[in-house]
Every structure is written in structure tokens, then in C-alpha cells.
Amino acid sequence: MEDVLIINDEVDSCLFLADILKKLGLKANAVNSLADAKEIMSIKSYSLVFLDNALRDGSGLDFVSNIKAQTYDPTIIMLTANMSDQQKALQSGVDLCIDKPFSQHSIVHALWNVPEKHNYPN
């Protein structure tokens, strides 16, 4: 079972996404701030990170470099409501972007289309 980190300050979104991932056989941990993400990533490895772009304590886009600095090279899927951020995200190392609000279908579609670093269920 792959370990997934969800970084999103909206608790309901975290629960919805974690439920979708659980149905797909993925184990997810969720944090609601970039500070908590930095802390948990220092003690645990994740193969996949769902990263919200607009968090209360900063920009997900600015946090991509922290994720990329991890030795385990996780796949990063950014959740964003701002279409103009998608190109910047991809240039900064994000593997895939999903428009917000997201659906179960968009999550499954993303996992199906994510570049093959890891083997995700579909």
C-alpha cells in the first residue's frame, strides 16, 4: 500500500480526498498547514503528495522545492482553483495539477495519468 500525504487547510477536503484514496487502496495522512507538512515529511516518506496551492500559512507553489528536496522523490499533484498557477506549478516540478473543486473522478483520472514514478491503483 502506497503512503500518501495530503496538504490542505480545508478539513472537509482532506477527509473527502482521504476517503477516495482509501477506496483505491492507498493509505493517506493529512496535514492542514505547510509547517505540519514539513515536520511530518522529516520523519516519514511519502510516494505521493496532494498539495493545495492556497494554504493559510503560505503558498503550495513555494513549498514544492521543500518536497522535491526529499530523497524519496514523491509524485506531487497540486490542487488549485487558479488556472494560471498550473503552468508555474508544472515548471516548478509538480507532476500534475487538478482543478478545484475536485471530484472522485478527477482524482482517479489523475492517478491514472500521473507520470510513472510509482505504481498507483486505478
What CATH number has the domain bearing residue 53? 3.40.50.2300
Give a yes or no: residue 122 inside a domain: no
Give a yes or no: residue 121 inside a domain: no
What pTM did the predictor assign?
0.91
Which domain, by its residues, includes 8? 3-113
Smallest Cα–Cα separation from 39: which of 75, 66, 65, 11?
A: 66
Supply the pLDDT for residue 1.
46
Q: Is residue 122's pLDDT more than 60?
A: no
Smallest Cα–Cα separation from 63: which of 18, 26, 74?
A: 74
Q: How many domains does the chain divide into?
A: 1
Give a yes or no: residue 8 inside a domain: yes
Helices (H), the chain: 11-23, 34-41, 60-68, 84-92, 104-113
Give a yes or no: residue 52 inside a domain: yes
Give a yes or no: residue 100 inside a domain: yes
Give a yes or no: residue 35 inside a domain: yes
- What pLDDT, in 10s, does the model give residues 43-87? 999 999 999 999 999 999 999 999 998 878 899 999 998 878 888
Q: Is residue 11's pLDDT more than 60?
A: yes
Give a yes or no: residue 33 inside a domain: yes
Q: How far apart are CA 4 and CA 20, in angstroms?
A: 12
Contact predicate 74/46, CB 8 Å: yes
Give a yes or no: residue 119 inside a domain: no
In terms of Cβ atoms closer than 10 Å to its own Cβ (0-12, 13-18, 19+), residue 96 is middle
Question: 119: how many CB neighbours lie within 10 A of its CB?
Answer: 8
